[in-house]
Structure 1
Amino acid sequence: MDIAVVARNTEVADRFRAHLEDKLSKVEQLAPRARRIEVEITKEQNPRLADRAERVELTVVDRGPTIRAEAAADDRYAALDLATTKLMERLRRARDRRKNHHRRGGAKPIADFEELAPEPVVEELPTTPTPPTEPGEVVEAQLGDSPVIVRQKLHDTQPMSIDQALYEMELVGHPFYLFIDEETMQPCAVYHRHGWTYGIIRLNYEVAAKDAAL
Structure 2
Amino acid sequence: MDVHIRGKNVGITDRFESYVGTKSEKVAGLLPKAQKFEVRVSRMSDRSPQNGDVVEITLIGPGPVIRAESAGGDKYTAFDMAYGRVLERIRRMKDRRADRRGRGRTSLGDAASAGFEMVDVTPAPLEVLEAVATGAVPIVAAAAEEEQYSPVVIRSKEFPAERLAIEDAVDQMELVGHDFFLFIEDESGKPSVVYRRKGWNYGVISLTD
> How far apart, in 2, do the equivalents of 1:122 and 1:153 lie?
19
1:94 aligns with 2:78: no
Name structure 2 gaps, 5 residues minimum: 107-117, 148-152
Give 3-state SS (helix, strand or coil) of 1:26's partner: helix
Q: Does the 8 Å contact 1:55/1:70 carry over to 2?
A: yes
Change (3 A) 1:182 1:88: same
Give 3-state SS (helix, strand or coil) of 1:55's partner: strand
1:109 aligns with 2:142: no
The answer to which structure has the higher helix fraction is 2
> How far apart, in 1, do the equivalents of 2:208 and 2:18 lie?
49
Alignment map for 1:35-50 (pairs within 5 Å): 35-45=35-45, 46-50=47-51
2:204 aligns with one of 197, 200, 203: 200
Number of equivalenced pairs: 186
Change (3 A) 1:195 1:101: closer
> How far apart, in 1, do the equivalents of 2:96 and 2:164 lie?
16
Q: Does the 8 Å contact 1:31/1:62 carry over to 2?
A: no
RMSD: 3.2
Give 3-state SS (helix, strand or coil) of 2:50's partner: helix
Q: Deviations over 1:98-137 (max 9, x none)?
A: 33433443364123231533235867979xxxxxxxxxxx
- Aligned residue in 2 for 1:33: 33
Q: 2:65 corresponds to which letter in structure 1? A: T
- Aligned residue in 2 for 1:140: none
2:195 aligns with one of 183, 191, 194: 191
Q: Does the 8 Å contact 1:160/1:180 carry over to 2?
A: yes
Name structure 1 gaps, 5 residues minimum: 127-142, 206-214
TM-score (structure 1 length as normaliser): 0.69
Alignment map for 1:115-154 (pairs within 5 Å): 116-117=128-129, 118=132, 119=135, 152=157, 154=159
After TM superposition, give the deviation of residue 193 of structure 1 in Å: 4.9
Instruction: Determine what percentage of the aligned residue pairs are the same residue.
Output: 34
**Which deviates more from structure 2 when the two are superposed, residues 23-32 or residues 66-75?**
66-75
Q: Does the 8 Å contact 2:141/2:154 carry over to 1?
A: no
> How far apart, in 1, do the equivalents of 2:102 and 2:21 lie?
34
Q: Deviations over 1:63-96 (max 9, x none)?
A: 2222222222112111111111221122122223
> How far apart, in 2, do the equivalents of 1:188 and 1:101 lie?
22
> How far apart, in 2, do the equivalents of 1:55 and 1:62 lie?
23
